[in-house]
Structure 1
Amino acid sequence: MSIEQRLAYLVGQVAQQAATTEELQELSELINADQTGHTAREVELLLQKDLPAATPDYNETYWDQVASRILAADHPQQMPVGKIVPMRSRRPWMAAAIAVGLLLLASGVYWQLRKQPAAPTVAVTQTPAPANDVAPGGNKAVLVLADGTEVPLDSTGSGTLAQQGDTRITKPAAGQLLYSQAGNTTGNIRYNTLRTPRGGQFQVTLPDGTRVWLNAASTLRYPTAFNGRTRLVQLKGEAYFEVAANAAKPFKVNVLTSQSDSMEVAVLGTHFNIMAYDDEALVKTTLLEGAVQVSSGNSHKRLSSGQGASLNKQDYTLALHDNVNTEEAVAWKNGFIQLEGNDIQSAMRLIARWYDVEVVYKAPVPAHFRGIIPRNVPVSQVLKMMELTGEVHFEIKGKQLIVSP
């Protein structure tokens, strides 16, 4: 039996409420060891597929028991059955947290949020959303072709979208764009632009095989064929890159930080995240795998896996950071809002971009947050979890979020 088949079996056992303690522990260990090749989001989707038929109604007692059994199976000496336990910091994808989070996320009732610096994990029952709730973002983007034609990707069906020289542009599935280059192309370079609105995200595979995940309110400009000595793209906003290796043709990201200033990230083949929003004070590059060089003016920083670089947009100083939280940097790509000691302003900027809302403060709020919230739920559920800290209150008025102490 393959690992994938074993995973499907274990997920089925959980969905049918038939999993033994040993099977719960095995599921937990498989996810934590990343042996399955599945991301946390993919495992959640497996659970969502199986759960409706097996558990049509939410059973709070049952899910509480499942959570306790998984926690007990993962750490029997530290986590007694039936007790709510604190999340352990700096291990966001630990086996127990993943297993419990995925199981209860799939039933729509589990959220992790803890007050800075530490508080218990919270499991709550989902309540009806208010009438003026705001839906989460989704796969929304506009593709701008070289001739200026705009293609709204969220309302366009799958299939071939355009032919640009020797490069074919297709939409293989919802939320995905694919460029297929036929051999070594020559001639004039054509540029396309992929633009996501607030509340949008999209994934594109570039002509060289590089995969890019574009977050909300972001723009990526790139050629339809990489004919030169380098592979150069231009980014504004946030994106996660998995660069196709090509030592003879370095990949470079020109990061726009203002109308006149920019930063450059140069790589050969690696995985990294860049966050460069106009409303953020810092431009952050986080390296998950490989090596990159970040440059701004005369400043240059070489990053290794697990390191990050930040560019201060006030004085344009470039700083290197060791042992950064890579999971926090790419949480958005994996379907989560992850808060690591964020103050209310930085947390609300994340929420405003994804839910396309305006944030209004009635008074200063000193709250800080740490935890993980799925971003595929209405905004009322996110705000409810943040209110559990007791330091902040929210009111939804149309597309406005009113924040008060």
Structure 2
Amino acid sequence: MSIQDRLAYLLQQAVSHTATADELQELSDLIQADDTGHTAQLAEMLLRKELPGEAADYDETYWNQVAANILAADRPVERVVPMRPQYRRAWLAAAVVSGVLLLAGGAYRLMQKPAPVPLATVTPKPANDVAPGSNKAVLILADGTQVPLDSAINGTLAQQGNTKISRQGAGQLTYTYNGASHDALTMQYNTLRTPRGGQFQVTLPDGTHVWLNAESTLKYPVSFNGRNRQVELNGEAYFEVAANAHQPFRVMVPTRTDNGKDSLEIAVLGTHFNVMAYDNEQQIKTTLLEGAVRVSSNGNSKRLQPGEGIALNKSNSTLSAPASVNTEEAVAWKNGFIQLEGNDIASAMRLIARWYDVEVIYKAPVSAHFRGIIPRNVPVSQVLKMMELTGEVHFEIKGKQLIVSP
């Protein structure tokens, strides 16, 4: 049996829901073994025949498992992101054609155009590339001492009063309050700061778990006393707040709006939510996944239910009404993905600049919108390659600069 016949058989097995795990592995291996890209091109041509139109009878659970099985050949899958029906065909075609399944570890929901994009639009891998971000941050202690966490060894880093600060494996900082009584240091503050190209997690003294995205700062006390548990955020973070009905948890977001007003407060008891509050973004967005939160700004207060989001517009200091949102899109970064869904070119490039620590330069005005998510543990060239599949934008990498042109 020729490679073409075998490839046709494997693709047919996949689209007919009869492929075994071994056959899905073989499909991935066939594409991976060919450095010329000819096998990927052949697969794309065969897919056009196997999927002549927008199929409407796909089983979402099945296709999630297809993604998991194929990706398992390259790396463990911690989470399979559900695919929307209108993206499933585009996901499989684009993933095979671009080689993302083997080079990038998988692109789940990808591209908005129904027809497969010709291979000629895919940019070759550049001679120079930029590595993705990693687990790195700086811990600033109450006395101003700075501890680089990317190079810190595991174990106890510092002891402040009755609170022990330790590093538990890569990318994880833990505060443990061991005292039954308050001490003089309990209201002193620590700051966790991630640079561009960095991320980190911290378990606060009350057990609240926080994921901190790139170029973000979280300020918090070394132990929580008083009526509230209050932290201060600049950037983006995902919170899993430890429940305590007697001590509400508050996230303060100092922000400078166009008219000078500068406060946003998120109050919770115990819940899971995401806050995006970068200085160079026009909106501060809060997304609730579980529980309930109240978002307040300059005397205006609104309550969110799970699955809802709210935004503070910096240009006019107005707080939007709570609205249903796609929560998986809001926390894609926390789950290891670059979220492009619905972003214009400017928003997407700000996101990429933060994670890859690059400077973005526009050669000319560009108008492009994207859909889908891409693993963010891959070199920047792989992300740009997928964005170029729209045919609306092109990129050039020069050291730490990304040149953007129509």
Cα deviation 1:95-140 (Å, max 9, x = unaligned): 524641673464435435644465559999x998433211100001
- C-alpha deviation, 1:144, in angstroms: 0.2
Partner of 1:130: 126
Cα deviation 1:18-64 (Å, max 9, x = unaligned): xx94875xxx9xxxxxxxxxxxxxxxxxx9xxx9xx96992479x98
- 2:103 corresponds, among 102, 108, 111, to 108
- 1:226 corresponds, among 221, 224, 227, to 224
Q: Does residue 1:162 correspond to 2:158, yes or no? A: yes
Partner of 1:83: 51
Out of 250-259 and 358-367, give the one that drifted further.
250-259
1:318-329 residue pairs with structure 2 within 5 A? 318-329=319-330
State the TM-score, normalized to the length of structure 2.
0.76
Q: Does residue 1:58 correspond to 2:32, yes or no? A: yes
Partner of 2:367: 366
Contact 2:261 2:317 in 1 (8 A): no
Partner of 2:63: 96
Partner of 1:335: 336
Partner of 1:41: none
What is the rounded CA distance, in whole Å, between the counterparts of 2:178 and 2:118 in structure 1?
52
- C-alpha deviation, 1:157, in angstroms: 1.1
Structure 2 unpaired stretches of 5+: 1-16, 76-101
Contact 1:132 1:397 in 2 (8 A): yes
- C-alpha deviation, 1:293, in angstroms: 0.1
SS at 2:346 equivalent: helix
Cα deviation 1:244-281 (Å, max 9, x = unaligned): 00001000000121396120000000000000001100
Decide whether aligned partners of structure 1 residues 232 and 21 sit closer, same or farther in structure 2, where only a CA change above 3 A counts: same
Larger Rg: 2
Decide whether aligned partners of structure 1 residues 279 and 250 sit closer, same or farther in structure 2, where only a CA change above 3 A counts: same
Partner of 2:311: 310
Residue identity matched to 1:304: Q
Decide whether aligned partners of structure 1 residues 94 and 282 sit closer, same or farther in structure 2, where only a CA change above 3 A counts: farther
Cα deviation 1:167-189 (Å, max 9, x = unaligned): 00000101000001114341331
Residue identity matched to 1:177: L
SS at 1:354 equivalent: helix
SS at 1:320 equivalent: coil
Out of 126-135 and 382-391, give the one that drifted further.
126-135
Decide whether aligned partners of structure 1 residues 84 and 383 sit closer, same or farther in structure 2, where only a CA change above 3 A counts: farther
- C-alpha deviation, 1:358, in angstroms: 0.8
Residue identity matched to 1:368: H
Q: Does residue 1:179 correspond to 2:175, yes or no? A: yes
SS at 2:207 equivalent: coil
Contact 1:113 1:121 in 2 (8 A): no
Decide whether aligned partners of structure 1 residues 122 and 374 sit closer, same or farther in structure 2, where only a CA change above 3 A counts: farther
- C-alpha deviation, 1:339, in angstroms: 1.4
Decide whether aligned partners of structure 1 residues 230 and 402 sit closer, same or farther in structure 2, where only a CA change above 3 A counts: same
What is the rounded CA distance, in whole Å, between the counterparts of 1:372 and 1:87 in structure 2?
22
What is the rounded CA distance, in whole Å, between the counterparts of 1:95 and 1:121 in structure 2?
25
Q: Does residue 1:349 correspond to 2:317, yes or no? A: no
Decide whether aligned partners of structure 1 residues 370 and 122 sit closer, same or farther in structure 2, where only a CA change above 3 A counts: farther
Residue identity matched to 2:192: L
Could you list the runs of 4 or more consecutive aligned residues of structure 1 that deviate by over 2 angstroms after TM superposition?
20-24, 54-61, 79-88, 101-124, 126-131
Which structure shows the higher strand fraction? Answer: 1
| Paired positions, count | 344
SS at 2:384 equivalent: helix
What is the rounded CA distance, in whole Å, between the counterparts of 2:333 and 2:366 in structure 1?
24
Out of 331-340 and 128-137, give the one that drifted further.
128-137
Contact 1:213 1:241 in 2 (8 A): yes
Partner of 1:205: 203
- C-alpha deviation, 1:315, in angstroms: 1.1
